[in-house]
Amino acid sequence: MKKQVQTLIIAGVLTSMLTGCGAVMQDRSSATQFDLQVQEESQNLDKKPVKSDVFNKVKTIVVADYVDYLEGFPADNIRVYKVMVKQLEKSLERSGKYKVISSSKFRDEIKRQDQDIDLTVDSSEDIEESMAIVGKALTVHGVVAIDIDTEGENISSLSNQATQMSQLIVDGEIRLPMEIKLVMVRTRTSEVLYSQSSIVDWVTGTSGLSTTKSSRLTKIVSSVVDPLVLGMTKTPN
């Protein structure tokens, strides 16, 4: 979760930074719509996604929703996050493998607990513990979340910003490789029960999500989330 927020911030900042690169380039790059393109050769990177035998005993789950901790973040980032949570929940429900408690209950419960969380600085272990505490209060066996991290080098470095600027000029778009990870945390102990990841290209021009309709964004996110959920739910009990 921490890495997801940091990645969304970086992508948002890059988009904002590049909006002033010149009228001609602006016209060209603004035509590029947001997309998440799956790298078919980089799917299911973890050969042993099941981290504990307890995973096979999980029957009830809830999807983590930390949208209320994104105050002050760019609107595009919040929009992507909301769709990710929604589509993750829908995909899990369609699988029929688990009893899925509404993510709105996670959101309500974490508000009630008034947890002191900073998604930009708290460690992954801290966030996993936070998820487990909420999940335990909701009496579910596991909490599921999507995590996004930059793949490879630091995309916010000056050298990489120059590369991205060149990419925008030549191709009219920025293409950032991202690692998408699906994680399940056990509520009793906060241990990770399942973890699987894939690489996608985060594609954007200077217009961000301003030209992306809700139906298209839903389709884009589903194309990334659904295969990961399928992999998890097809794991034999």
Tens digit of each residue's pLDDT (9 = 90 or more) over 17-60: 444 444 444 444 445 678 888 887 778 889 999 999 999 999 99
- The DSSP annotation for 141-161 comes to SEEEEEEEEE-SS-TTSHHHH
Which position has the higher pLDDT, 14 or 43?
43
16-25, 55-64, 133-142, 171-180: segment of lowest average pLDDT: 16-25
Residues 88/144, Cβ–Cβ less than 8 Å = yes
Asked if residue 213 has pLDDT above 50, the reply is: yes
Whole-Å CA distances, 126 to 96, 171, 180, 212: 30, 40, 20, 34
pLDDT of residue 87: 97
d(CA 137, CA 151): 34
d(CA 65, CA 103): 6
Which pTM value belongs to this model? 0.81
pLDDT of residue 156: 45
Token reading at 230: 């399928």
d(CA 155, CA 160): 5
Mean pLDDT of the region 87-113? 97
Mean pLDDT of the region 118-133? 91
Whole-Å CA distances, 188 to 133, 138, 237: 8, 12, 20
Encoded amino acid at 107, one letter: R
Task: Give the CA count within 13 Å in the CB-facing half-sphere of 151.
Answer: 16
